[in-house]
Amino acid sequence: MQAGLLDDFNDLAVQFMKEFNRRDEILITAKSKALAHKYQTEAHFYLSVMIRITQHGAGIIKEEIDRLERIIAGPVHANKADELEKRKNILKQFQVLHYERDEL
C-alpha cells in the first residue's frame, strides 16, 4: 500500500467520484469519519480534496499533482517531501477515478 492512503477513505473517494448525485451525503460521512480518525492529517486531506472538487471541479486534481511534483523535484526537506508524496498518492486515488468516469 502506498504511503498516506487510508482504505476507508479510498472507498469514500470511489463513491465520491462515481456517485455524483450523492456527493453531499458522502462529504458528511467523510467529515464525521475524519474527526475521529487515527490518521488525522491524511483523513482531513481526503476531505479537503472532496471539498475542492465540489467547489472547482475535478480538473484541480491534475493541477495539484503537477504542483506537488514541481515542489518535490526542488530542494525540499525529507520530511516535507514525504508529506507531499502522501498528498500526491491521495490525489491520485481521485484522479484514477476521474479518468475512468470520463472514459465511460
* CATH 2.30.30.830 corresponds to the domain 7-103: no
- Domain residues of the chain, as ranges? 7-103
At 18 the three-state DSSP class reads: helix
- Calculate the average pLDDT of the chain: 90
State the pLDDT confidence band at 2, using cuts at 50, 70 and 90. Answer: confident
Asked if 58 and 94 touch (Cβ cutoff 8 Å), the reply is yes
Q: pLDDT for 13-57, tens place per residue? A: 999 999 989 999 999 999 999 999 999 999 999 999 999 999 999
Q: Helices H, strands E: what count in the chain?
A: 5, 0
Least confident of 1-5, 35-39, 59-63, 82-86: 1-5
pLDDT at 46: 97
Q: CB under 8 Å, gap of 24 or more: what pairs does 50-54 form?
A: 50/12, 50/13, 50/16, 50/23, 50/26, 51/27, 53/16, 53/94, 54/23, 54/27
The number of residues making up the chain comes to: 104
Asked if 68 and 56 touch (Cβ cutoff 8 Å), the reply is no
